[in-house]
Amino acid sequence: MPKIMKQENDIKRKENMNKIFKILDITENNDNFLLSKMDIDIDKQNEIYKLEDDIKKYYKTGKWGCFCKPIKRKWLSMIKYICKEENKTIDSTSYTFNSNTETKKSDTIYKIF
Number of domains in the chain: 1
Q: Print the domain residue range for 51.
A: 7-30+38-88
Q: Per the domain annotation, does 112 fall within a domain?
A: no
- What is the pTM for the complete model shown? 0.82
Coil/strand/helix, residue 111: strand
Q: Per the domain annotation, does 95 fall within a domain?
A: no
Size of the chain, expressed as the number of residues it contains:
113
Coil/strand/helix, residue 98: strand
Q: Per the domain annotation, does 21 fall within a domain?
A: yes
Q: Per the domain annotation, does 51 fall within a domain?
A: yes
What are the angstrom distances between the C-alpha of 47 and each of 38, 51, 100, 113?
12, 7, 32, 22
pLDDT digits (tens, 9 = 90+) for 2-51: 556 667 788 899 999 999 999 999 998 999 999 999 999 999 999 999 99
pLDDT digits (tens, 9 = 90+) for 85-113: 999 999 999 988 776 666 777 899 999 99
Q: Per the domain annotation, does 107 fall within a domain?
A: no
CB 68 within 8 A of CB 80: no
